[in-house]
Structure 1
C-alpha cells in the first residue's frame, strides 16, 4: 500500500522568518490524519529566511537527520561542535541523554531543508553530531544510504534508530527501482514530479509505504528523492 500525502494537504507552521510544511502531525501541529510511522515521527520541509534561525535549545532522546536542499545551515552545540552544512550535505545528531544546539541560516539566500526525527533504538547514551557531503554524482540514478542504524551500511552516517535514510537524484525521464524487504514500511518525499509505482506525485509530495516489495520510480522532471526505510 502507498498512501499519497500531497504537499497541499500538509499542515503548516510559520514564524516571521520560518515557513514549515509538516509531513507528520506532531506537538499539536500538522494534519492529524498524518500520523507517525513506527519510529518516524517528524518530517518537516523548512525554509529559513536569510540571517535567521533557532537559538540554543535542548533535545533529548531523538535522532535528528537534516538533509540540506538549498543554501547552508550553520550548526553549533553544547559539545563544542560547529559546522556549516551546505546543499548536498547531510548532518545527524543523536541527542541521547541531552544536548543543546542552535541552527542558523547565516547566508544571504534562503535555506531549504528536510528535517527528520526518529525515536532512538534505546533512550539515553552519549550525544553526538556528525555531517558528511554526498555529491549528486553518488546519488545519480540510484539510492545511496545517507544515514543508517544498520552496521552493514558502510559509509553512511550512523544513527541510533531502526531506520535508514536514502537519497537519490533523477533527471527527467530517468528511472530507478528499489527493493524493500518483506513487511518493511517507509516514507518517501520528492522535490520534483515523479511516478511512484502507479501513483503520480508532485513536487514536495510525500508517500507512506507499507508492505510494498519494490519501488519503481519514473522522473517526470528533475527531482531529489529522500526515502526513510524502517528496519
Structure 2
C-alpha cells in the first residue's frame, strides 16, 4: 500500500512507523474528538464564534445593532480591524431593517455577494436578490469607460423601483455610480420611499478606499468601512446581519 502511494504521489514523503498500539490516552482523545464532532452543529459553531469575538473585542461605544453587524463581519473575515473601520449612517440599520420587512429587493454588484446573502430570510418578507452583471447585453456592449458591474447597477436602479438595499462588495466603480445616481435629482424623484440603504465595502487598491470615503460623507443611509479591506463576504455579512435583525424585531 505504501509503495502504491509513493508511486501515485511522488512529491509526498511517506514514513511508516511501528503501530502505536492501544493506549488509554489515545482512546480518550479519539472519544473526545468524536463527541466534539457530534455536537458541533453549524449553529453551535456560530454561537461559539460569536462568544469568542465578544470576549476578544471591546464592542462598547456602539449600539447593540451596530455591534451585531460588526460581529458578523468579524465572523466572516476573522479580522478584528473592522471594529475600528466600519462606519454607520445614523439611520442605516433602521432603514435597512425596514426595507427588508417591507419586502424590498436587494441589489448586488457581483454574483458572489448575491450568493452569500441568506435568501430564505429575505424571501419570507417577499424580497429577492438581484444581480445584473451577467446580463448578456453588458458582455457585448463596447464601453471603454464603464465596467459591467457599473452598467448592471445603473440598469437595475433605472428599471426597478423596489430596491431597498444596495450591497457593493467588489466594484468601486459601481459604488461611485450609485453615489452619482442617488445625488441626481432626476433619479431621486423616482424614489417613492426613503431611498435605498447603500452597503458599500469594495475591496482593493484602486478607488476602493476613495469611493468608501466619499460614501461616508453622503446624506443618504450607508454602511461602509474606511480601509482598503472589504469584499463580497463583508457585504454579504452586513446584509445577513440586517436580515437576522429583521427576523427578531
TM-score normalised over the length of structure 2: 0.27
TM-score normalised over the length of structure 1: 0.28
Specify which structure has the higher proportion of strand: 1
Specify which structure has the higher proportion of helix: 2
Larger Cα Rg: Structure 1 or Structure 2? Answer: 2
